[in-house]
Amino acid sequence: MTGRDELLRQLGEQTELWDVLVIGGGATGLGAAVEAAARGFRTVLVERDDFAKGTSSRSTKLVHGGVRYLEQMNVTLVLDALRERGHMLRNAPHLVHDLSFVVPVFNYFGLPYYGFGLKVYERLSGRFSFGSSRLLSRDKTLEMLPGIAGDGLKGGVLYHDGQFDDARYIVALLRTFQDLGGTAINYVEATGLLKSNGKTVGIQARDCESDARFDITTKVVVNAGGVFTEEILAMDGAEPGSLLSVSQGTHFVLPQSFLPGGAAMMIPKTSDGRVLFAIPWHGATVVGTTDEPVDRASAEPRSLASERKFLFEHIAQYFGRKPRVEEILSVWSGLRPLVRKGHGTTSKLSRDHTVLVSQSGLVTVTGGKWTTYRKMGQDAIDHAVDVAGLPKVASRTLDLKLHGWTDDSAGIAEPERVYGTDLPLIQALSDHDSTLSTLLHPRLPYRLREVVWAARYEMARTVEDVLARRTRALFLDARAAMEAAPVVADLLAEELSRTEAWRDKDLANFYAVAQGYVYKGE
């Protein structure tokens, strides 16, 4: 793999025009980049932070059609998402899997109502169905959700949806893009747009590590900045605040004992009309999410007191008790870019995506939901082809297997299964240095060799990159991640030939971020 210094040199000294330049290294940006590279276009992607730093690592970990969008009668979105859900499972079975969901019902009318709705959801998935839905007795509901409170429970409805590791899926997209000949680099910021005769022909770029400045020229620029999309549009002269509303969703991570049965719980309508999930994930229980409008986007959103209150109240309602402070292993928030279409609360705004082409030829893709990332990328590149006059090549991503693809993961624990066919190569690192088999922390399922692998092959540059996104330590147990951080900093400093001063600064930066994931009882 080409080293970062060589990548920067190539970008700064480019002699051949890029076909497509993508700004943004989340699901939408990498989806567009993979789409372009798969069609044979010479493609480069820049990300000012780390890949999946924002929304794409902070989802509820679901690959789904969206049951609530069916209730809103957005059938087109549900059909698209269910189709894409099926292809995500087929293209990345090491990252996506079927999960049983149970809707506990506390009134007799709810059984036929939700039973019918989820049967429609199942039928809409057609040949991409993950499994049959059915009504459950009260006893069977308690058997499948042994941690929930049973007072007033009448029964339940079982249905199937998908689950994944969002940040690891991003890494698979990154590696797939590179396998296709694409060039991607993190910690490079687009600081401005290059124009020629009123047309966008590239970007002004800054390496965030060295502060070096350089230009990258291209036939077309795709803006996939997520919640920061309007910052790029402003460089093109657009009025800020006219396109997106930003909504925040917060999650608590609790011990597995809250939901020990292996099935997930879905509450389709809480007291204020929201959807609530409790999901088993990497040996823990994720509970969320909220839906609160926020005034501006942030790289590190923090949970609001109202969100924590909402989660506490509903955990107590459905699990029979509030978690103790030490049982909240991590608390994290993500932002949703919602395209404005009239007025209303953010929970009512559409999750459909939008592609805009400005007068300068800047292509912007935004909105949407994680599950439809590939369709968003396809639509963006279709528009980019028209803008740049690129060859009309059909999309090749619908059945494109992602890096690490394997359908033989039986018996492999979830935290290691995400590596797919790379797992034996990672394990082989311990053949040369047996100490790399050591666990990062007794409460975490990760080993030292994964830090080395992340630095060598997955473009990890910081302790946060490793503990938040290459592994999911910070999201699973924030205190354990903080305790493991010094060892990670030492390994990274060695792998990246960094000074002790750099190591100390990186560690301090991680602690500052990680404090926001630790629930302190306020």
Domain boundaries, the chain: 4-55+168-243+349-388, 414-517
Name the 3-class secondary structure at 249.
strand
Predicted local confidence at residue 521, as pLDDT: 78
Secondary element (H or E) of residue 253:
strand 244-255
Q: Which fold has domain 414-517?
A: Helicase, Ruva Protein; domain 3 (1.10.8)
Residue 72 pLDDT grade (very low, low, confident, very high; cuts 50, 70, 90)? low
What does the angle CA 190 – CA 173 – CA 26 come to, to the nearest 5 degrees?
Answer: 40
DSSP letter (8 states) at residue 516? G
Residue 1 pLDDT grade (very low, low, confident, very high; cuts 50, 70, 90)? low
Predicted local confidence at residue 351, as pLDDT: 60
Q: How many CB atoms lie within 10 A of CB 40?
A: 14
Predicted local confidence at residue 486, as pLDDT: 98
Which three-class secondary structure string do you get for 375-411? HHHHHHHHHHHHHHCCCCCCCCCCCCCCCCCCCCCCC
Mean pLDDT of 215-241: 93
State the average pLDDT for the chain. 92
139, 101 Cβ separation under 8 angstroms: no
Name the 3-class secondary structure at 492.
helix
Mean pLDDT of 103-108: 92
Q: How far apart are CA 45 and CA 33, in angstroms?
A: 7
Predicted local confidence at residue 520, as pLDDT: 86
Most distant CA pair in the chain: distance in Å? 71
Mean pLDDT of 102-113: 91
* pLDDT greater than 90 at residue 275: no
CATH 3.50.50.60 holds for 4-55+168-243+349-388 = yes
Q: Are strands 213-223 and 199-207 parallel, antiparallel or unpaired?
A: antiparallel
97, 164 Cβ separation under 8 angstroms: yes
Predicted local confidence at residue 71, as pLDDT: 67
Mean pLDDT of 205-218: 96
Mean pLDDT of 117-139: 87
Least confident of 41-50, 93-102, 341-350: 341-350
**Nearest to residue 160, comparing CAs of 102, 86, 222, 218?**
102
Residue 123 pLDDT grade (very low, low, confident, very high; cuts 50, 70, 90)? confident
Q: How far apart are CA 241 and CA 363, in angstroms?
A: 18
Cβ partners under 8 Å of residue 399, min gap 6? 87, 90, 91
* pLDDT greater than 70 at residue 27: yes
* pLDDT greater than 70 at residue 345: no
What does the angle CA 338 – CA 343 – CA 344 come to, to the nearest 5 degrees?
Answer: 80
Mean pLDDT of 204-215: 96
Name the 3-class secondary structure at 151.
coil
Higher pLDDT, 520 or 208: 208
Strand partners, 100: 160
Residue 347 pLDDT grade (very low, low, confident, very high; cuts 50, 70, 90)? very low
Predicted local confidence at residue 239, as pLDDT: 80
Upper half-sphere CA count for residue 6 (Cβ side, 13 Å): 4
Cβ partners under 8 Å of residue 222, min gap 6? 20, 21, 22, 23, 29, 32, 36, 363, 364, 365, 380, 381, 384
Cβ partners under 8 Å of residue 90, min gap 6? 399
Residue with tokens 């969703």: 249
Predicted local confidence at residue 28, as pLDDT: 97
Q: How far apart are CA 193 and CA 166, in angstroms?
A: 30
User: 0.85 exceeded by the pTM?
Assistant: yes
Q: Are strands 353-357 and 363-367 parallel, antiparallel or unpaired?
A: antiparallel
Secondary element (H or E) of residue 457:
helix 448-457
